[in-house]
Amino acid sequence: MNLKSITLTHAAKVVDGTVQLTGSKSESNRALIIQALSHHAVQIENLSEAADTVTMRASLAQVEGAKGDQHITVDIGPAGTAMRFLTSYLNLIQGSFTLTGTARMQQRPIGILVDALHTIGASISYEKQDGYPPLHIKGGFDQQTTSISIQGDISSQYISSLLLIAASLKQGLTLNILGELTSRPYVTMTLDMLKEVGIQHTWEGNSIHIAPQSYKEATIYVEPDWSAASYWYAVVALSKQGHIALPGLKKSSLQGDIAIIDIMAHFGVESTFENDGLHLRKTDIQRTDQLIDFKECPDLAQTIVAIAAGLKRNISFTGVKTLMIKETDRIAALRTEISKFGAELLEDGEVYHLKTEKVEAPEQVTFDTYEDHRMAMAFAPLALIFNKVTINEPMVVEKSYPLYWEHLQAQGFKIED
């Protein structure tokens, strides 16, 4: 299916059902790198069906099946996690590689990670513009140092990328984080998953140290995706009456997006963990507005802004610096799309203020997605409060949640192309 647009409606505005989410993309992509580095001593269960994970798996298989003397081009398309993780991983493999992606991927910076890898002796060069893919990587290098310093307020995927290969370096690695660490839960996730397969670390102050060590035989079970769960929080919040069950989600999650539980309490969604998983219920109880900090859960920002705008709830938020270098400039995209029904997004330094006094409910509104899966999934639930919502380029959801439209249909949304 390759649709240019779809139009969503929901006649009843009431939802009550169960949704089985795919495995976490974040956990899955880390698990695949760990499995490759362990020479398949580590097995994986409940791997994500997301396009990014499919791409990662295929890229690793391509590299593993190649002969050492041939040059290989690894094209990861729009898969940002694959770009960051493979930039480090390929340096450990004997061979010559070009690592590339879509036109947008070639506009997303990678220089901070490449500079860090240069410090330890990696042979990486830029094939077009300095600081950006495509990269030429000559794998198999002599380690020059055991210590790297890297800014903490950049994408946490740079840091996770280095941590994932640390135990496989002959001298191990000490990573010194400069300044405040953004998206700390994703770094913690990486370290916890490594620990699960026998890779120990120490974290003292701003320094993380991983010694050279071997992986143990183990199986990683990938928890369902909390980022995907956030869209069902939106569905419940925007409904007249709502209950959704999400099997398999755990109270003790490695995923930073579990922060959605506390944030959505502000919008009248109650979260309870029962024997079969997480249950979401719409209530009349809403918390007082406060400043929302997305520093440790930036992937939730689009969903929350769309919900608040639709419900005419003024909010202020911060911690979204990294959103400008994602699939699109997500702040600019949000500002444009919410303006289509009267909401405004005002900037005050690092704090943004959502103003909803001019919000109206149009008969029909069309949202663009900017090649960004999260834009599509954040705005689609607005069909519960607007009569018709059209989503352009809807298949971008395949990047992280390929069954999203089918799941919406199962919960009463009517979808027409």
**If you write DSSP's letter for every residue of 233-286 in order, what string do you get?**
HHHHHHSSEEEEEETT--SS-S-GGGGHHHHHHTTTEEEEEETTEEEEEE-S--
Side chain identity, residue 223: E
Instruction: State the span(s) of the chain assigned CATH 3.65.10.10.
Output: 5-23+223-416, 25-221
Alpha carbon dihedral 36, 38, 40, 46, in 10-degree steps, equals: -70
Each of the 417 residues of the chain gets a pLDDT tens digit; together they read 568 999 999 999 999 999 999 899 999 999 999 999 999 999 999 999 999 999 999 999 999 977 767 899 999 999 999 999 999 999 999 999 999 999 989 999 999 999 999 999 999 999 999 999 999 999 999 999 999 999 988 888 999 999 999 999 999 999 999 998 888 889 999 999 999 999 999 999 999 999 999 999 999 999 999 999 999 999 999 999 999 999 999 898 989 899 999 999 999 999 999 998 999 999 988 776 679 999 889 899 999 999 999 999 999 999 888 766 556 688 999 999 999 999 999 999 999 999 999 999 899 999 999 999 999 999 999 999 999 999 999 999 998 899 999 999 999 999 998
- pLDDT at position 321, please? 80
Q: Which fold has domain 5-23+223-416?
A: UDP-n-acetylglucosamine1-carboxyvinyl-transferase; Chain (3.65.10)
- pLDDT at position 3, please? 84
- pLDDT at position 183, please? 80
Catalytic site residues?
Answer: 299
> Which residue in the block uniquely carries the two structure tokens 């005419």?
312
Within 13 Å, how many C-alpha atoms sit on residue 49's CB side? 11
What whole-number distance in Å separates Cα of residue 138 and Cα of residue 128? 16
- pLDDT at position 325, please? 57
Side chain identity, residue 50: A
- pLDDT at position 288, please? 63
What whole-number distance in Å separates Cα of residue 103 and Cα of residue 100? 9
Which is the CATH superfamily of the domain at 25-221? Enolpyruvate transferase domain (3.65.10.10)
Query: Helix or strand or coil: residue 331?
Result: helix
